[in-house]
Chains A and B, each alone.
Chain A
Amino acid sequence: MEIIQTENLTKRYKRYKKQEGLMGSMKGLFHREYEEKTAVDAFNMTVNKGEFVGLIGPNGAGKTTLVKMLTGIIAPTEGTIQVMGYYPNKLEKAFKQQYAVVMGQKSQLFFELTTEDTLKLFQQIYNIPEDQYKKNKNFFVDLFQVKDLMNVQVRNLSLGERMKMELIVALLHNPKILFLDEPTIGLDAVASRQIRTFLKDVNESKGTTILLTSHYMEDIKVLCKCSIVMNHGRKLYDGNTDLLFEQYQKSKKMTIYFENNADSGIPESCRILEKTKDKLVLEIPKEITEKVLEFYIGHYSIRDIGIEEEEIGSVVERIYREV
């Protein structure tokens, strides 16, 4: 059953074109020139109930704009949009009662208060009965193992801890859809992994439909069965995530830290992305990842080694080349 559906969805921003210099600014006071920017362009998408969909694209692709339209924060310029049967920008209370949105940089928490305080406030805002409130709170607090952080002033939490709190606040009222705009931005590997595990759990145990945007390939690989790739406001790929990786993910990024100043050899068909005294970053074809790994571990003394997914930019480029 479709819970989100858009057709031909388009958003054009009008940007005030600032003219140069003082004279230009003065002129701008009386006569303004605008330029149009199409942030989302004839976008069609469908999300089914209970799905965990990844929306991935480089910076400026239009991901946030899309999420803003889906949550009703801004109105589309053209096209149709339907979320749980509502037109989001009407901002009906019944609609707002049924979803939640977490944006990487925008906090719902009160920095001066504790998470516990914010939760109590949100209980009132969403009219959550006491028993459901307790049950939900305990469920999420256990899942994240953040019991001892609940009574800490939010300003004293780390970014990763705060994001966990943000998610708990967002999920307290059992939303049917959870929109996440770059929830892992700026987080370290450990915190990102915890957030991912948590989201997967929520999706599976509560059946919450989740739409997650990111520009990290890692995020969608682990979480989303279906993915949408977008760039310049347009959809480039929509389908199975595994298939996406198989077709367009040709290489991986390997970062090696050497124990001592090692001038290492580079295996064939690898490309150097960065090289310093004791650090080497390589782009390697994904089929030979294991061999390269063995090569380095066998021949050099290594302090640390990490393998990451290729950056979204390269994947997008490859998709462009094929179509």
Chain B
Amino acid sequence: MKKYLEIAKAYMKTQLIWRWDTFIDVVLAMAKVIFAWILWSILFEGKEQIAGMGFYTMISYYIISSYLFQLDKSSEISQQMTNMLRNGTFSKYMVIPVHTQAYFVAMAAGKIVFSACICFFTTILCFYFSGISFVAAINIKILFCGAIMIALGLLFMAELNYFLGILTLKFEEISTFLMIKDNFSAFVTGAVVPLALLPEWMLSGMRYLPFYYVTYLPSMLLIGKQG
């Protein structure tokens, strides 16, 4: 176990070098919230609530879900794996005494811990500038449940990407799979629009997909709406 902790630590350190990347991450997250603000202030014109959410709740949703979306570094796993499998450098993980899958999960975890800290700061800023009080909505129990759900969701995404990466061995070219996965997961995790806006039958279908629990449900929990 300790070796995987060390692997996570090593990758966290590598993240520290790329301050530029992190900066872009932060800017993108902010931009998304600002866009949501503009878009939804138009849509909320003359309305009190949409899909059971008020304007400020909606914005909180975007702030939190974009934070969670940032955390998901798992698409790098499949990206890196295909590249390595194709140019033959993947073997470097086969010759050292580690469990490859665990290695990649530890890698993603290391990167997540880093961006979790940086983006946490951004999120606080967003809440501060938008004047929304987030604290009102939470209690310890919800926070705890949310945290567990987020951890499991991220683990699921890491595993999913590992298996997609492995597909390279069979199909050589998996960029199409990856594109489908990225678009699909951006949609079904609720990173683009809150799933609550979808028709009930679609929503109930999505409850059976693990994606539902990655971003959407924890975001709803944290803004005080049980999705």
A residues lining the B interface (CB < 8 Å): 16, 68, 71-73, 91, 93, 96-97, 99-101, 103, 106-108, 110, 112-113, 117-118, 120-122, 124-127, 153
Give min CB distance, B171 to chain A, whole Å: 11
The B contact surface, by secondary structure, is helix
The answer to whether B13 and A117 touch across the interface, beta carbons within 8 angstroms, is yes
A-B contacts besides A107-B92, A125-B6, 11 pairs, CB < 8 Å: A71-B91, A93-B97, A106-B91, A110-B10, A112-B14, A113-B14, A118-B10, A121-B7, A121-B9, A122-B96, A126-B97
A295 to B148, CA, bound (A): 82
State whether the Cβ of B179 lies closer than 8 Å to any Cβ in chain A. Answer: no
Task: Assess A73 versus B91: contact at CB under 8 Å? Given A96-B96, A97-B97, A121-B6.
Answer: yes
A68 to B3, CA, bound (A): 25
The A contact surface, by secondary structure, is mixed
Residue in A closest to B5 when the chains form the complex, CB atoms: A124
State whether the Cβ of B51 lies closer than 8 Å to any Cβ in chain A. Answer: no
The answer to whether B6 and A96 touch across the interface, beta carbons within 8 angstroms, is no
Q: How large is the interface on B (under 10, 10 to 19, 20 to 34, 35 or more residues)?
A: 20 to 34
The answer to whether B3 and A72 touch across the interface, beta carbons within 8 angstroms, is no
The answer to whether B95 and A124 touch across the interface, beta carbons within 8 angstroms, is no
Q: Which 9 A-B pairs have the closest CB atoms?
A: A124-B6, A112-B14, A124-B3, A96-B97, A73-B91, A112-B17, A93-B97, A121-B10, A125-B3
Residue in A closest to B98 when the chains form the complex, CB atoms: A125
The answer to whether B98 and A72 touch across the interface, beta carbons within 8 angstroms, is no
The answer to whether B95 and A73 touch across the interface, beta carbons within 8 angstroms, is yes
The answer to whether A117 and B3 touch across the interface, beta carbons within 8 angstroms, is no
A108 to B9, CA, bound (A): 16
Q: Please indicate the chain A residues that have their CB under 8 angstroms from the CB of B94 in the complex.
A: 72-73, 91
The 8 Å CB contact of B91, one of A68, A120, A153, is A68
A17 to B9, CA, bound (A): 43
Give min CB distance, A130 to chain B, whole Å: 13
The answer to whether A101 and B95 touch across the interface, beta carbons within 8 angstroms, is yes
Q: Please indicate the chain A residues that have their CB under 8 angstroms from the CB of B2 in the complex.
A: 124
State whether the Cβ of B89 lies closer than 8 Å to any Cβ in chain A. Answer: yes
Task: Assess A125 versus B91: contact at CB under 8 Å? Given A112-B17, A113-B14, A117-B10.
Answer: no
The answer to whether A112 and B97 touch across the interface, beta carbons within 8 angstroms, is no
Give min CB distance, B136 to chain A, whole Å: 41
The answer to whether B3 and A113 touch across the interface, beta carbons within 8 angstroms, is no
Task: Assess A72 versus B95: contact at CB under 8 Å? Given A112-B13, A113-B13.
Answer: yes
The answer to whether B89 and A125 touch across the interface, beta carbons within 8 angstroms, is no
Give min CB distance, A181 to chain B, whole Å: 11
Residue in A closest to B18 when the chains form the complex, CB atoms: A112
Q: Please indicate the chain A residues that have their CB under 8 angstroms from the CB of B98 in the complex.
A: 125
A101 to B89, CA, bound (A): 13
Q: Please indicate the chain B residues that have their CB under 8 angstroms from the CB of A91 in the complex.
A: 94
Q: Please indicate the chain A residues that have their CB under 8 angstroms from the CB of B172 in the complex.
A: 16
Interface positions of B from 87 to 116, Cβ below 8 Å from A: 88-89, 91-92, 94-98
The answer to whether B95 and A96 touch across the interface, beta carbons within 8 angstroms, is yes
The interface bits of chain B over 102-146 (1 if a CB of A lies within 8 angstroms of the residue's CB, else 0) are: 000000000000000000000000000000000000000000000
